[in-house]
Structure 1
Amino acid sequence: MSSTTALTFQPTPGKIRELIANRRPGYCLDAPFYTDEAIYKLDIEAIFGKHWIYVGVEPEVAEAGDFLTVEIGGESVLVVRHDDGSLRAFHNVCRHRGARLCEEKHGSVGNLVCPYHAWTYNLDGELVHAGHMGSGFDASKHGLKPVHVKSIEGLIFVCMAKDAPADFDELAKIMSPYIAPHRLKDCKIAASVDIVEQGNWKLVVENNRECYHCVPNHPELTISLFEFGFGYAPGSNNTEAIEEFKRIVETSACRWEGMGLPSREIDHLDDRTTGFRTQRLPLTQAGESQTMSTEVACKKLLGDLTERALGGLSFWTQPNSWHHFMSDHIVTFSILPVSAGKTIVRTQWLVHKDAVEGVDYDVNTLTEVWRATNDQDRKLVEMTQRGATSSGYEPGPYSEYTEGLVEKFMRWYIGRLNAVIG
């Protein structure tokens, strides 16, 4: 089987189309998909420029005038809480000479004032002041350029396309009952960490979408996970254990759904424009949370929850996020591409807004599992990125038992590229 490597690839439009057309189902991608800047630019245009991108949580913009900014492949988007309580989003670019309106990641404003020449916009994005422009200047034609913004129970998504994928509303309708009991809007961010990984964003997603690597690489994370929770190859030596795991999953799902907590798997990772998947799975040992002890990290539970052992609700979205909801805290992850070989992975831990640090929770206990896991994943992604630059690299096969979600991501990715380039 032939292979196109980063050393031989010439990034013409025809070659890129050929690579896309020749992608072999069940195998990872040719090297240029991970290393070439021309394909990276296509990813930014076709994937991050046209789909719903997860950017943060509503507690970051809790009050009127609060804002957050996020960099998405060289674009800066500004999300702000309007006076009426709704969310608005704009390109973070002044309509005068293009200066960034807000350089900080977070802040609070009355109006949006450009630091260069003081052009001033209200929270609707309307230009309300522009000095020295003369009587013939029409301010109404120079408002901020809007960006689509929607929230699913406190998870904020933006879309920079002119026409955003319409299926997001259906996704929100499906997911809201799963997420709502955890009351994310009534949480606060207890910790936030950005990791810069020297790897392509797709390698970060591939790594996230499988747990084939978990047992040898994630000793902290696997303390709370059942061995068969994320894929397994059946054999004569594990038949009874697998059947027992299936029984635990079914029994737990029935009990949780009886409590008003939707739990059963929904998987649309590769058959929708806005791909997603969700499932609530039991945790092992104490079964309360993704911590080293498997007990809750925060004594004050989320929302109106009264039981600690509610497993872990996972929610994945294409192309850039995954989230874990437990009884006591929430962990959210976003992928923000920087270049063909560099990606920011942002992790945020949320607890009940009334939880008191040092009394109800300890930040180290809350974050230690995923801080360790993220660093381990960073190393795995970076070693894979280095391998992709080798002349000896050739796409290898996915495990049908443990890497099925990776294949679904790849099918979605290739499908979305084809939808743009034809």
Structure 2
Amino acid sequence: MNSNNGLPIEAYIDSHFFELEQKHIFSNTWAFAGLIEDIKIPGDYLTVQAGLSNIVIIKNEHGDLLAYHNMCRHRGTQLLEGKGSGLKKLTCPYHDWTYQLSGELVSLPKSRNEFTGIEKDCLNLKPANVGIWRGMIWVHPDPNSTSLQDWFGPIENQLGPHEVESLVEFKDSVVIEDINANWKVIVENYIDHYHLAQLHAGTLNMYNHKKAQFGFVGKHFKFWEPLTDDYQRNLQQNAASPLVYQSGLNNIGVWVPMLFPGIGLAELESSWSVFHIIPISPSKSRVIVRTKMKDSGTLDYLKQSLSSAAFWDKKVKPKYASFDQNHPLGSADFMREDIYICEQLQKSFTSPQFEFGPSASFGEAPIRQHQELIWNIIKPYWDSRLVS
């Protein structure tokens, strides 16, 4: 066992450390922007924060996705916010500088008098990189970044057989949680195998944690484990929702990777989810979970729910049966359990008595590896700050 944490305590509470992460990690990697159905037709757009950069993604008249840094080349005002449709041109609300969807600056008020000799060709929108991978839209602030295929290539064959594009998102299933914890605490909890049979003894006991296979592939974390025998034995009836795939029915498992730096996937037997961790401050993060399921009728879902009800009533239990159901540890809800624990841990970081204890040699190895990844990136800038 290792008693040394891979990161200093400042990594979880210090504003400067947080700023370094924003600059050297989140501004320098591919960021999850949405699902392909978020931008369906020409003129659709959405904006996304990628580290220190705000990026706008547009579908042009040819059906191509384009991405630009979302700021006017005049004073830097953000051009758009949120998401929308019907976009023909991009016009800055401040001084009406106008750009084509191609990013070209085409007009600016009073240009002859106010901007004599201006070269508009030098003031087009700054491009960013955009691509589609496994039914998801991704952006990178650097237009010359490594390709999506190269970035995700090492983990591609460690993911589930889910055909994400053929699944349907249930809009009312979107979960947005503001969590009072550093983003790395949430990532570490996500990749912590040791806690599965403890914290989630009653809520994730349909998966065989003893046979889990996990580890890092480059900067990405892979995770697979099989179903428990009692769940697998009559899966067609026991599954809470229609199964998303039928192939290999006798050997179905779950794939739960964490894509660097903080995009989790939950590729399960009857659903597929993306778990997007968004750092807000050293002690606060937002998690957005979007779930897709099989494109079946309401009646099919009702039948499946009824057929599996007895199994789940017996199977799922709260961490502490004596606790009120409104308490996370009495809720029988694994996500509420996780949020509670992450926030409880974050609270302790500012205590004068806090210190990192021993780390489980096997079950917490991924945590140490993730911390090493972060430290290798941030340490040179952190050390130079201390020296100066």
| 1:273-352 equivalences in 2 (<5 Å) | 275-284=219-228, 285-287=230-232, 295-298=239-242, 301=244, 310-352=252-294
Deviation for aligned residue 1:104 = 1.8
Given that 2:128 and 2:140 are in contact with CA atoms closer than 8 Å, whether structure 1 keeps it comes out as yes
| 1:37-116 equivalences in 2 (<5 Å) | 37-73=15-51, 75-105=53-83, 107=85, 109-116=87-94
Distance 2:222 2:134 in 1: 15
Deviation for aligned residue 1:201 = 1.1
Deviation for aligned residue 1:229 = 4.3
Query: Are residue 407 (structure 1) and residue 368 (structure 2) matched?
Result: yes
Distance 1:80 1:319 in 2: 25
Deviation for aligned residue 1:218 = 2.8
Structure 1 residues 167 and 147: CA distance shift in structure 2, 3 A = closer
Given candidates 342, 345, 366, the residue that maps to 1:384 is 345
| 1:150-229 equivalences in 2 (<5 Å) | 150-161=131-142, 164=145, 166=146, 168-176=148-156, 181-190=161-170, 191-218=173-200, 221-229=203-211
The 3-state SS of whatever aligns with 1:384 is helix
Deviation for aligned residue 1:328 = 3.7
The 3-state SS of whatever aligns with 1:286 is helix
The 3-state SS of whatever aligns with 2:34 is strand
Instruction: In structure 2, list runs of 5 or more residues that go unmatched.
Output: 306-311, 317-330
Given that 1:73 and 1:339 are in contact with CA atoms closer than 8 Å, whether structure 2 keeps it comes out as no
Deviation for aligned residue 1:347 = 0.7
- 2:319 corresponds to which residue? none
Distance 2:86 2:338 in 1: 34
Structure 1 residues 88 and 35: CA distance shift in structure 2, 3 A = same
Deviation for aligned residue 1:331 = 0.7
* Count of equivalent residues: 351
Query: Are residue 359 (structure 1) and residue 294 (structure 2) matched?
Result: no
Given that 2:160 and 2:255 are in contact with CA atoms closer than 8 Å, whether structure 1 keeps it comes out as no
Deviation per CA, 1:91-140, whole angstroms, max 9, x where unpaired?
22222332222222455523333334443333332223333323744332
Deviation for aligned residue 1:326 = 3.2
What percent of counterpart residues are identical?
A: 24
Given that 1:69 and 1:106 are in contact with CA atoms closer than 8 Å, whether structure 2 keeps it comes out as no
Distance 2:148 2:29 in 1: 10
- Greater relative CO (CA pairs within 8 A, separation 6+): 1
TM-score, normalising length from structure 2? 0.77
Distance 2:376 2:137 in 1: 25
Given that 1:74 and 1:338 are in contact with CA atoms closer than 8 Å, whether structure 2 keeps it comes out as no
Paired residue type of 2:216: D
- 2:320 corresponds to which residue? none
Given that 2:25 and 2:51 are in contact with CA atoms closer than 8 Å, whether structure 1 keeps it comes out as no
The 3-state SS of whatever aligns with 2:287 is strand
Deviation for aligned residue 1:416 = 1.6
The 3-state SS of whatever aligns with 1:141 is helix
Deviation per CA, 1:259-298, whole angstroms, max 9, x where unpaired?
xxxxx86732xxx4xx1133543222334999xx850524
Distance 2:250 2:93 in 1: 48
- 1:375 corresponds to which residue? 336
Distance 1:185 1:108 in 2: 24
Structure 1 residues 110 and 199: CA distance shift in structure 2, 3 A = same
Q: How well do the aligned residues superpose, as a CA RMSD in angstroms?
A: 3.5
- Report which stretch shifted further, 170-179 or 142-151: 170-179
Given that 1:72 and 1:336 are in contact with CA atoms closer than 8 Å, whether structure 2 keeps it comes out as no
Structure 1 residues 68 and 219: CA distance shift in structure 2, 3 A = farther
Paired residue type of 1:410: Q
Distance 1:168 1:104 in 2: 24
Deviation for aligned residue 1:344 = 0.9
Structure 1 residues 76 and 308: CA distance shift in structure 2, 3 A = farther
Instruction: In structure 1, list runs of 5 or more residues that go unmatched.
Output: 1-23, 231-263
Deviation for aligned residue 1:27 = 2.0
Distance 1:54 1:182 in 2: 18
Given that 2:56 and 2:68 are in contact with CA atoms closer than 8 Å, whether structure 1 keeps it comes out as yes
The 3-state SS of whatever aligns with 1:359 is helix
Structure 1 residues 26 and 117: CA distance shift in structure 2, 3 A = same
Structure 1 residues 48 and 226: CA distance shift in structure 2, 3 A = same
Structure 1 residues 123 and 193: CA distance shift in structure 2, 3 A = farther
Deviation for aligned residue 1:28 = 4.8
Distance 1:37 1:391 in 2: 18
